[in-house]
Structure 1
């Protein structure tokens, strides 16, 4: 075990001065140009499925899974817009806020864990959506009965199964490091031989 979740050691870094502030900021603006419409589209999808047309779409196992996938997508998109890409590609922010992340904070832990969890959840949701469509085509007679019983379990697995891949991240030290004109985040594994990706591949 290399590190512990309660490790509060000071891990400073220097913001790089070799990146052009304007060019890096334009990278952020460029990404936001497509991320904001994507966020609005996911909000619109969820609004239709869960609120305005709930009576119709709420009975569809596929759209219930699609809604869970959209929630995971929104988590990733909103973090990108308001946190990770902002700190990574807007150099003027780096010297102002970087010292706040020299020690572990709840914010960076929540960001990193929820991001890993959402990516894993999307993979699981996609598997169930493909199975759902396959059942609809291959066994249309039994499709309704199969998914009437299975949908809640599938959604529960989409939410819980990622924990099999993120538990080590939850226990680990999340730290900030200089990258591009700003900084990004990574983690020091609590259990050294376990990685997020190795568990994901082992499960699937």
Structure 2
């Protein structure tokens, strides 16, 4: 659709089926939103004094914030406008005439997606330094944590600068519409920049993960629970990013796939759901201390056995949780 054309909704989709898709995704997105919001509350307010010196958790908070943002914007805008056909004739022409709001939504969405790639690098780097440099790990992160936060904020702009200077407008998608842009510079593609960030993130993730596992194998008197926790978290997040990257690469480099297999566009969203909702659940599931802070009544009822942090030798685990 040309940016100057009149916006027209695609009336060929079944309204009941499209709304059913939206409701089905709400079944896990809404609980996921509540779960992540509560975890953020525990980490940043309720138990902040306990986690303030845990640099892994401070970076992981960025991961939670980006996940929460992506889910909320999907619930109240992205998938709402895409899967609720009756809204299309009302909101589509409105955003066509008022593109600034749509541009803000698209820029912020893709900024946060790029941010997740950057955060992933620092999370795996933190785990690696904890194992490879157990003595200097805390001093190193104390010195550079502010730089890490700054990079986490500014590096994602490298993936979305083309979107910032381009025009954005609604595009018919399924029974509703989604955001699309017209490149201000022909050679610059948002999807390729996003793919580049995913590739870089995957490269560093794999390297840091290999070094982490190697360091764990070399440790004397290894802490088995710590090794298991690191392996599970690393595997899940890495698998999640591979999942996201595969669909991103198909969308970017297979020009006919989007037409031949239109469901690929929907699966892009589902892969991010897997990463956004799944990562915090895995974190809580495998970590006794965080689980006790979030669900303290389980500890009081005697259903969960909490291993005190002090029981783990500090040389192997300098900070309380997955440092």
TM-score (norm 2): 0.58
Q: Deviations over 1:133-192 (max 9, x none)?
A: 011111111110111112111111111001111111111111111111111111111122
- The equivalent of 2:262 in structure 1 is none
| Distance of 2:116 and 2:146 partners within structure 1 | 16
Q: Write out aligned runs for 1:2-151 (5 A).
A: 10-151=4-145
Q: Deviations over 1:105-141 (max 9, x none)?
A: 2211111000110000011001100000011111111
- Could you tell me which runs of 5 or more consecutive residues in structure 2 were left unpaired when the two chains were aligned: 201-323
- Contact in 2 for aligned 1:94/1:181 (Cα 8 Å): yes
2:158 paired with 1:159? no
- The equivalent of 2:183 in structure 1 is 189
| Distance of 1:128 and 1:40 partners within structure 2 | 26
- The equivalent of 2:163 in structure 1 is 169
| Distance of 2:131 and 2:75 partners within structure 1 | 38
Change (3 A) 1:45 1:194: same
- Contact in 2 for aligned 1:11/1:175 (Cα 8 Å): no
More divergent stretch after superposition (191-200 vs 24-33): 191-200
- Contact in 1 for aligned 2:9/2:89 (Cα 8 Å): yes
Report the count of equivalent residues: 196
SS in 2 for 1:191: coil
Runs of 4+ in 1 over 6 A off after TM superposition: none
By how many angstroms is 1:11 displaced? 3.7
SS in 1 for 2:171: strand
SS in 2 for 1:14: coil
More divergent stretch after superposition (150-159 vs 189-198): 189-198
- Contact in 1 for aligned 2:95/2:101 (Cα 8 Å): no
- Asked which structure has the greater RCO (Cα within 8 Å, sep 6+), the reply is 1
More divergent stretch after superposition (36-45 vs 113-122): 36-45
| Distance of 1:46 and 1:168 partners within structure 2 | 32
Change (3 A) 1:179 1:168: same
By how many angstroms is 1:40 displaced? 1.1
TM-score (norm 1): 0.91
